[in-house]
Structure 1
């Protein structure tokens, strides 16, 4: 029998947690449900334990003292042993009744990760009350699709299903809400099969407070874009900066060279030093990009060999 684990990271979700657990238990009666209590200061832990006990479903509460959704997911993926994993938020924004649609491609062997797509049905645009978050989502999605040649509709969805191979070979190095983007990048970079299933999405019910902050999460979006380029496309990142500095160096050097051709002397010594410095730095950056790109390629090869050695374990 296939073991299914539902993972619900929760930080101060006392208003919605019981209904979320009940929804997934109704949709997947045989699944174990694990609530990862992430430093909650309300009754999240007690409500989770009480609800699981009343429903008589397997699972329990895992406490993770390091703040951040990424840390909560990491703890669950390390501690919970299953064949198939479902990840969802505990705030009633994702429909538990559609979990079967996410699991079907996993069971059929058509995907290693299935993403609940909030955008294709138009629900997210209607329900989302934070315009800047929607803008950041589109920005990151466009960059990821451009760099990886993909056509994904929802990069940041928190509603996903995974097979065991993906979960047990995924190194989680992020700690916060960027975990979903990191999962997508890992799957694309390591050539896991991704499928998207349109799901209904609704904003948090009244009384439930979002943990998102427009300015803070806007900064995280920018940091995510920066890290996507730096980690996954180092030649483009460092080579692009190097090329820009090289162009600036050429512009700074034109008056110096022109002066030397006319007079045979260089009077603009500071400008000459600046131009030379920019060109040297640009060459170094391109060299760094080439070296890191080779290392990234070697890491992908090593990862592929490790997956082959793991087989279906």
Structure 2
């Protein structure tokens, strides 16, 4: 019979619990009459885990590259099943109760996620920080950044079709592999479902491989870096808006709030905020092109319109115009200084011209350089 389901378990010294996990999976196949296989993706075990797996008729795949993601990728790529269900080999998940996943996969869902918060978390199964801070916060960020409805981004028990796995084009090697799978599936508009899943206390006597702060940071870093809109665009637009309005008010004259007087010295900072915000927006554009052209993020219709809207020629014209306006203002300031016989400038009025002039010229140069680099990154297109 053609293999319908492959159960893939990453393994690094799981001799204490590996056998019971494999046996539960085999019993599930027999009970539900499913043509299945168990694949152990071994990441360098030294406690005899490999032999335990072989004795129980599981397929052992040796994955030399270290990391949770590396082990899973090695096991999934070796899987023969139409569908794959991955889960930890520490007996925290019940491999004898996989039918809710199989049914959703048979319905045509590309990715089926477990949700431990809906299924139940046994006492002592999840550390306090993970349960009330790490998982909820990172899952919220994932939903916000990628418009995903997944309630538990880090559930280790999940299923997907082999075809969907190839479409995801997963790259990461560590614990952030779990987040990457949901992010890629969401960005590629795949069909995703959730099923309640019970998390039990694992059966190991040693501490888990998961490092709370290191792996939490890797998840957060991945989510932020894979969302240039939240990393660069939105903060940049906010700083630009604040910088523009504050600068416009200070160019018109001093602004007094309560007993505090804001004048040209503050104008320097607001102009700087405008420039920094503009840099953020430019970095968003460059990051977007780089990630799409290197297949790190999927291409969208907006991306094609992006290229039609922003061209080298338009950028050069806009940049040159900004520089010209800056030069005109500089000449005006020079004329005012000339009227003072090039002496000390005690009036703040000239600075109200000089600061915008310098800001416009810097913006113009940034636009010109961005247009050139943007075009270089898009040469493939």
TM-score, normalising length: structure 2: 0.66
Q: 1:177 aligns with which of 175, 186, 197?
A: 175
Distance 1:278 1:12, change over 3 A: same
* Unaligned stretches of 5+ residues in structure 1: 53-58, 302-313
Structure 1 segments, 4+ long, off by >6 Å, are 258-261
Name the counterpart of 2:59: 60
Contact 1:8 1:90 in 2 (8 A): yes
How far is the alpha carbon of 1:203 from its aligned partner? Answer: 1.5
Q: 1:133 aligns with which of 125, 130, 138?
A: 130
Measured in 1, the distance between the counterparts of 2:67 and 2:249 equals 53
Measured in 1, the distance between the counterparts of 2:240 and 2:196 equals 46
Name the counterpart of 1:46: 51
How far is the alpha carbon of 1:248 from its aligned partner? Answer: 7.2
Contact 2:224 2:230 in 1 (8 A): no
Measured in 1, the distance between the counterparts of 2:95 and 2:107 equals 20
Question: Deviation digits for residues 261-290 of structure 1, max 9, x if unmatched?
Answer: 9xxxx985xx76655444223213213324
Question: Deviation digits for residues 148-181 of structure 1, max 9, x if unmatched?
Answer: 4443221111111111221222212111111111
How far is the alpha carbon of 1:32 from its aligned partner? Answer: 1.3
Q: After superposition, where does 1:1-313 map in structure 2 within 5 Å?
A: 1-3=1-3, 4-29=5-30, 30-52=35-57, 59-109=58-108, 111-123=109-121, 126-134=123-131, 135-227=133-225, 231-232=226-227, 234-246=228-240, 257=251, 268=265, 275-290=270-285, 292-293=287-288, 296=292, 299-300=299-300
Measured in 1, the distance between the counterparts of 2:117 and 2:235 equals 33
Question: Deviation digits for residues 33-62 of structure 1, max 9, x if unmatched?
Answer: 11011122322222222222xxxxxx5111
* Unaligned stretches of 5+ residues in structure 2: 256-262, 302-381
Three-state SS of the structure 2 residue aligned to 1:34 is strand
Three-state SS of the structure 2 residue aligned to 1:216 is helix
Three-state SS of the structure 2 residue aligned to 1:172 is coil
TM-score, normalising length: structure 1: 0.79
Q: How many residues align?
A: 285
Measured in 2, the distance between the counterparts of 1:215 and 1:31 equals 37
Measured in 2, the distance between the counterparts of 1:222 and 1:162 equals 23
- Which has the higher Rg, Structure 1 or Structure 2? 2
The structure showing larger relative contact order (alpha-carbon pairs under 8 Å, at least 6 residues apart) is 1
Measured in 2, the distance between the counterparts of 1:51 and 1:213 equals 30
